[in-house]
Structure 1
Amino acid sequence: MNFKSIVLIVILFISSCLTAQDTPNIVWIVSEDNSKHYMKLFNAHGVSTPNIEKLAQNGIQFNRAFSNAAVCSAARSSIITGVYGPKVATHYHRSEQKVTLPENIKMFPEYLREVGYYTTNNAKEDYNIIKYDMVWDDSSNKASWRNRKKGQPFFHVFNIGTTHEGQLHFSEKDVDSIRTKTNIETVFVQPNHPQTKIFKYTNARYLDLISKMDQQVGEVIKQLKDDHLLENTIIFYYGDHGGVLPNSKGYLKETGLHVPLVVYIPEKFKNLSSFKAGTSTNTFVSFVDFSATVLNVAGVKVPKTIDGVPFLGRNVSKHTLQNKETFGYADRFDEKYDMVRSVRIGNLKYIRNFQPFNVDGLMNNYRYKQLAYSEWKLLFDKGQLNEIQASFFKPKAPEEVYDVEKDPFETNNLAHDAAYHKELLKLRKSLNSWIKSMPDLSFFPEHLIIEKAFTNPIAFGTAHKKDISKYLKIANLQLLPFDEAKPKLLKYLDSSDELERYWALISCSSFGLKASELSDKIEALMTSDTLLINRMRAAEFLGITGLKDSSDALTNLLYQSNNEKEALLLLNTIVLQQDYYKNYQFSVQSTLINKAVLKNKLIQERLKYLNHELPY
């Protein structure tokens, strides 16, 4: 070996060492089901979290950080891919069948592994996606950065389940026997909630859990310190979506989407942030931005398939960080269906209810294990709620607009306030443009998405982009006065396109009795339409309006269905009509349901409720 070769090898060795030293480790500490509202760092009514507060004193506090979905599997799917859920069909909460990602879309830790990172996850995944072996070096409750090769940079995720919704599944006996550290007499209860002992206790108990979670955050940071890694490690702390008091997790309220986020960047890597340590920012960041940010921090080129943009790392400055909007989506949560989209721009929040006849308080068996939920419904049934508190159990407006700075719990809908009309139109346009640009696959019912799109959702969306835009147009007839929408609804009810009829029927239901003059045509569709779910939507309209008792028709359609998700949608309508419209009585015989359908766990949850088999 000659002298030049030796020099070259030495230079390459030194270069590789420098590169390793200059590559940051990245740690995510994730707490489950808590919005920013429970932490004093972000909200005056929250509890102190000294470890997270200390992280913020030496890092960056993001006051406008948002999940794009209000439940874990949908939220985590958007984080791991950097792609909006409705675009790749990952937005339904835990579909039994997993989505296959297109070849050009990867779970982002795979990109980190390709450049030498050791990637670990301890331990929750909860993705609505088929997972590939190349994503994590280790994903288990034993996963740790300590198992990497010496000097190898790492990306580590540590999940804390202490604040998960299930921690609030306590009994009435517990309310009197288990004392909280937080004083229940001084605790804040949201104005849309009943001001009862149960709600006060639930809030206090949850604040105690936030304190416990903060201690666990401190333990992870201590491990990094003990391993002499703090000076080389960028730390993110965030909540995986909002929650967990009623009308938060599972809903597109700020309490369901607005999460805490603090990022610590050591002095060594301060060039990777345009923010000074110890400061806060109102820059909007969303979960779809997280993967792009980590890749950019690690020096990896951000793939064009990622919808988000970096908010830290190279070539990011305050000038480029002018984002003031965030989008949200909510569809099926366990056995409960809806279709809601949202956009927030600055302090204004727009919520679009595409099926406004659906009631937010509709039974969801897991959710109603929480005493606060069941008490809230009981008080509604007794007529003991004020108008704001009772709205959770009533049909919604197609459009909602809130000034969330003045009205943080979204109780005063400004959609019909003339002073906000220009803002309404701007927000509506922004949301419609986003829906069409993805495009949003939810304009196809879930069972059709599973059947036709799960093997390549991007290709399916591209092929049906014009169709989705057309269905959106039909859905938006809900926003017109009925007399103006009527001739168009008549046209689409007669369409040869099955889903044009589907969305026309949904829009008719949103008008309620205003559309009663279309009842003869709709009743004819209930018996003659070629698509079973269209017959269901027709029966739904007749039941909602009370123009005809369609309970037998809905029950018979359930017996005819041989598709699990189609049957689940039917059961959603059955429970909705039983509990909130005319109190129709349904007698569902399990023996008449398709055997394959009956095996579905979510179907079983609905049947337990209908058959009064729940223990609470």
Structure 2
Amino acid sequence: MKKYIILYVFVLVMTCMMGCTYYPESNHAEKPPNILFILTDDQANWTLSINDNPNSFTPELDKLAEQGALFENAFATSAVCSPARASLITGRYPSETNIMDYIPVDSEIGMDTTLVTWPEVLQQNGYQTALIGKWHLGKNEKYLPNQRGYKFFVGFPVGGFKSKSPDVWSESEWKSIDGEYTPDVLTDLTIKQINSFHQQNKPFAISLHYWAPHANTQFPEGYQPPYDDRSWLPLKDEDLNYWLNRDAILPEPNFPELDVDRVKRMTREYHASVHSVDRNIGRIMNSLDQLGLTNNTIIIFTSDHGYMMGHHGLWHKGNGRWLTQNEKDPMGVYGSNRPNMYDYSLKVPAIVRWPDKIKPGTLINETISFLDWYPTILSMTGIKKPENVTLRGNNALPLLMGETTEGWDNNIFAQYKTLRTYRTPEWKLVRDFSDDGKDELYNLERDPNEKINLIQNTDESIQKKLDNLDSKMFDIMDAINDMLL
């Protein structure tokens, strides 16, 4: 009898060695969840129709929010793409990643290679990983996604550049995909990758980084927009038609010297580009349903930073550009550009769907930042943080699960070039370390749109609040060895 028991144990061990996959800290009765992290480019929080924007039409994203959790106060750690993306993937502040501004096409810099990304940790713990779409954290080989935790990478080392006929980097070479719209191309590639990973019967973590709704910097061969200006065209008819005959409602129609016609045209195109993402997310959800992956796949949707379209008379983000008739500051303070850390530039949409884990229709008012995604994803997957990894954020899974949130830190610190901001739910301080005359202080409770700068107000209570915010800002800057100190 004893020899049969020994033989049984031997066969069991050998079987596991040949065919079993070990997933650390996971429930053995339950396969680890898949992760699909969807990141758009330049999509503001106010673009979701579930947030009651009169211009928006995002039925698929609204459905996603209704099926899961919607964060009402999610913020990027920087107001432009590259530093924000670096924070998201490392859990560290921009200054700690070596990226403080967007990386130009001809630049040789990249994200600090000593930092361990969350895709790396997942890959080391049995996950199949892939990034499809925009990277923008360094174009040289040592900086590419394949070196930062993604086994597979198909997309754009820098930017997608155009909404149709994109040039895609795949297997160390460029491939032109003529005649296809960029959001559809990236979605097709994602669905193909999901199918491939599914056949291998291993958990996967796929980052899908859309170029949309970023305005185009290039156009397909033979196409020129019908005006000499930045454009989101060409777009699919099914994305554009909804807005063709609509009169866009502007956030600040009476802003001094506003170029109203231009703002309305840009607003319609921008929302049409947002819809191109929304439509394709519906395709991905259908694909997950067909493969039977819906219940065990966590969907995280967000954007790399916020956006303005007429807010404060600007368009764009932290490197805001004026929408006035002469494209300059009507007050004569900032010239052609308006560096900023407005909430409109930092606040992002954030949705998480995890069937059977997150209650449908969950609304979360607590503040989260990009620093929180790393620890949250590790908690979702049951993977321990490596001992050599420092993270600045907090695990937001208890918020998603509806657990007690007592003691949650709702304050955030963000960086962009020489700008630093410390924000609480009630107050916001912005310091411009390049110009002492351009600091800003806002009472968000009374002035949520950041119109009244109180930095010069001599009221004792306001000065006391300013001192407190200053102290907290400098504490963080000191803790992370911010170069501006």
Task: Tell me, yes or no, whether TM beats 0.5.
Answer: yes
Q: 1:140 aligned to 2:140?
A: no
Distance 1:403 1:46 in 2: 28
- Name the SS of the counterpart of 2:195 in structure 1: helix
| Residue of structure 1 equivalent to 2:102 | 93
Distance 2:443 2:215 in 1: 28
Letter in 2 for 1:218: G
Distance 2:407 2:218 in 1: 38
Contact 1:60 1:279 in 2 (8 A): yes
Letter in 2 for 1:6: Y
Change (3 A) 1:80 1:100: closer
Q: Which of 437, 440, 448 is the aligned partner of 2:482?
A: 440
Contact 1:77 1:90 in 2 (8 A): yes
- Name the SS of the counterpart of 2:64 in structure 1: helix
| Residue of structure 1 equivalent to 2:118 | 108
Distance 2:308 2:95 in 1: 23
| Residue of structure 2 equivalent to 1:310 | 395
- Per-residue deviation, residues 558-588 of structure 1 (Å, max 9, x unmatched): xxxxxxxxxxxxxxxxxxxxxxxxxxxxxxx
Q: 1:340 aligned to 2:419?
A: yes
Change (3 A) 1:47 1:106: same
Q: 1:284 aligned to 2:295?
A: no
- Per-residue deviation, residues 10-45 of structure 1 (Å, max 9, x unmatched): 489599696383310110122110110222223434
| Residue of structure 1 equivalent to 2:465 | 423
Letter in 2 for 1:425: D
Letter in 1 for 2:212: T
Letter in 1 for 2:317: K
| Residue of structure 1 equivalent to 2:80 | 71
Distance 1:348 1:2 in 2: 72
- Per-residue deviation, residues 202-241 of structure 1 (Å, max 9, x unmatched): 1222122222221111112112112110011010111111
- Name the SS of the counterpart of 1:409 in structure 2: coil
Contact 1:32 1:241 in 2 (8 A): yes
Distance 2:111 2:135 in 1: 16
Distance 2:275 2:317 in 1: 20
Q: 1:403 aligned to 2:443?
A: yes
Q: 1:217 aligned to 2:281?
A: yes
Change (3 A) 1:113 1:184: same
Contact 1:326 1:344 in 2 (8 A): yes
Contact 1:37 1:46 in 2 (8 A): no
Contact 2:49 2:62 in 1 (8 A): no
| Residue of structure 1 equivalent to 2:454 | 414
Greater share of helix: 1
Change (3 A) 1:150 1:20: farther
- Name the SS of the counterpart of 2:440 in structure 1: strand
| Residue of structure 2 equivalent to 1:381 | none
* Unaligned ranges ≥5, structure 2: 156-188, 220-224, 235-239, 319-339
Distance 1:330 1:94 in 2: 13
Report the TM-score when normalising by structure 1.
0.58
Q: Give me the identity figure in percent.
A: 24
Distance 1:102 1:31 in 2: 24
- Per-residue deviation, residues 521-553 of structure 1 (Å, max 9, x unmatched): xxxxxxxxxxxxxxxxxxxxxxxxxxxxxxxxx
Task: Give, in angstroms, the shift of residue 327 of structure 1.
Answer: 1.6
Distance 1:211 1:134 in 2: 31
Distance 1:138 1:20 in 2: 29
Change (3 A) 1:192 1:254: farther
Distance 2:400 2:75 in 1: 23
| Residue of structure 1 equivalent to 2:247 | 185
| Residue of structure 2 equivalent to 1:354 | 433
Within 5 Å, which residues of 2 pair with 1:196-595?
196-245=260-309, 246-250=314-318, 251-267=340-356, 270=357, 276-303=359-386, 304-312=389-397, 317-319=403-405, 322-331=408-417, 339-356=418-435, 397-417=437-457, 418=459, 419-441=461-483, 443=484, 472=485
- Per-residue deviation, residues 488-518 of structure 1 (Å, max 9, x unmatched): xxxxxxxxxxxxxxxxxxxxxxxxxxxxxxx
Change (3 A) 1:5 1:405: farther
Distance 2:266 2:111 in 1: 40
Task: Give, in angstroms, the shift of residue 150 of structure 1.
Answer: 2.5
- Per-residue deviation, residues 308-353 of structure 1 (Å, max 9, x unmatched): 221117998433661211121111xxxxxxx111121113221111
Contact 2:98 2:111 in 1 (8 A): no
- Name the SS of the counterpart of 1:318 in structure 2: coil
Distance 1:162 1:114 in 2: 31
Q: 1:164 aligned to 2:214?
A: yes
Change (3 A) 1:210 1:168: farther
Task: Give, in angstroms, the shift of residue 97 of structure 1.
Answer: 3.0
| Residue of structure 1 equivalent to 2:186 | none
Letter in 2 for 1:145: I
Letter in 2 for 1:187: I
Contact 2:67 2:353 in 1 (8 A): yes
| Residue of structure 2 equivalent to 1:155 | 205
The answer to which structure, 1 or 2, has the higher relative contact order (CA under 8 A, 6+ apart) is: 2
- Name the SS of the counterpart of 1:231 in structure 2: coil
Contact 1:401 1:424 in 2 (8 A): yes
Change (3 A) 1:94 1:195: closer
Distance 2:6 2:367 in 1: 52
Task: Give, in angstroms, the shift of residue 8 of structure 1.
Answer: 7.1
Task: Give, in angstroms, the shift of residue 400 of structure 1.
Answer: 0.9
Distance 2:295 2:58 in 1: 23
